Amino acid sequence: MSLLLPVAAASGYLAGRRGSEKSSGQRVTRLTSSYFRGLNYLLNEQPDKAIELFLQIAEPDSDTLETQLALGNLFRRRGEVDRAIRLHQNLFTRPLLSAEQRSLALVELGEDYLRAGLLDRAEALYKDLLQVDGQQAIALRQLIEIYQQEQDWESAIAAAEQLCESGDCTNTALVAQFRCELADQALESGDHERARAHLQSALNDHPECIRAELQLGNIELEQQRWAQAARHYERVAKLDPDYVSEIVRPMLTSLDALGDQKRARRLMTELTERERGSASLLGLVHLVEQGDGRQAAVELLAERLHERPSVRGVRRLLDLSFAPDDDRESVALVRDILDKLLQREPTYRCGRCGFRPRALYWHCPSCRSWGTVKPIHGLVGD
């Protein structure tokens, strides 16, 4: 049904513009009737017949730019990118087009190049459109998309900042992700200070950037700056409890190095009330085992599993209840079954497209959305 939109928009425009004949009592013209026939083809899922009809209408009529732009859009959506490119190139070369019409054709041609993977051509075209009044915003948005595909994060940030200067500052969360990408590159080269600077800039752009807080925590942990690491991990938990499973172990490592077991237990207790998964509960059970003994840990875990069952929790309860060298066949069988369940199930899921990887991606490989992949919670989740 999404294929109907471009043609329907053009048809509505032209039918309305030419419909004065009908409103004055005259019969509907052959042209308007043909548009409705074309829409009828689309509604009956006969796009090929619709395209053929619209082309017949558009070809002899020099005043059907909107229709031909919509047709090109339809070709692109159907995967016929070469056909869309030819159509939009032909439109652009028409001698009688106004500057506004020419820029509309260029915008659509740029979309064709993007879909075809011709990023250099698309980039050059959109840079030209930056000089056209009224087209700067769409050109900058498309350039941001191109630079993402090219992983040219500096250029993507510059384009987003230019867009913000023109009044559209809705990309702050996206820019923060780009800065996190630059931080990753700095870390790969061993430049922790430059990585910190990029991550702090990300938080300046978007104070609720989970990724930046988590990365800063990991940098501080690696450099054994325990108090700073713990603060960043706490911030992650406050911003979004769905990511608690990512910070429980490093947070406990930091607090253990600080010798602050009281604070660790308090934090794990608080997080068990807010988190939907089992990570904080297992962290609390670990602390109870250390401080109060194994039996107290077993009792706590068994009680909580009645309220919120999980495979990971049952697996931990098994380890607490039976010695590692317990060779009874039934115990070994249950361990094996639980381990296979945990290994088989994906660990994360994209909230937008449902992609289910076993690693945390900040940029979903499936739908290419940023920050939509989160840990899975529930019976077989974290």
Percent of the chain clearing pLDDT 70 (strictly above): 70
Q: Is the pLDDT at 380 greater than 50, yes or no?
A: yes
Given this structure, which CATH class describes domain 171-275? mainly alpha
Considering only residues 311 and 243, tell me which one the structure prediction assigns the higher pLDDT: 243
Task: Give the residue carrying structure tokens 């052959």.
Answer: 30
Mean pLDDT check: name the lowest of 81-90, 202-211, 311-320: 81-90
CA distance 238 to 216: 15
pLDDT number for residue 63: 52
Considering only residues 319 and 252, tell me which one the structure prediction assigns the higher pLDDT: 252
Mean pLDDT check: name the lowest of 57-71, 253-267, 318-332: 57-71
Kind plus residue range of the DSSP H or E element containing 195: helix 192-205
pLDDT number for residue 179: 98
pLDDT number for residue 123: 83
pLDDT number for residue 17: 45
CB 278 within 8 Å of CB 338: no
CA distance 282 to 288: 10
> Per-residue b/e over 113-148, b at no fewer than 16 CB within 10 Å?
bbbeebeebbbebbeebeebeebbebbbbbbbbbbb
Mean per-residue pLDDT of the chain: 81
Tell which residue, 338, 348, 264, 272, has the closest CA to residue 307.
272
CATH number assigned to the domain covering 4-165: 1.25.40.10
Mean pLDDT along residues 2-29: 44
Considering only residues 119 and 277, tell me which one the structure prediction assigns the higher pLDDT: 277
CB 133 within 8 Å of CB 156: no
Mean pLDDT along residues 137-145: 87
Kind plus residue range of the DSSP H or E element containing 279: helix 279-292
Q: Is the pLDDT at 5 greater than 60, yes or no?
A: no
Mean pLDDT along residues 82-87: 66
CB 274 within 8 Å of CB 282: no
pLDDT tens-digit series, residues 279-332: 999 999 999 999 999 999 999 999 999 888 888 888 898 888 887 766 677 777
Q: Is the pLDDT at 13 greater than 50, yes or no?
A: no
pLDDT number for residue 46: 66
Considering only residues 9 and 263, tell me which one the structure prediction assigns the higher pLDDT: 263
Considering only residues 17 and 42, tell me which one the structure prediction assigns the higher pLDDT: 42
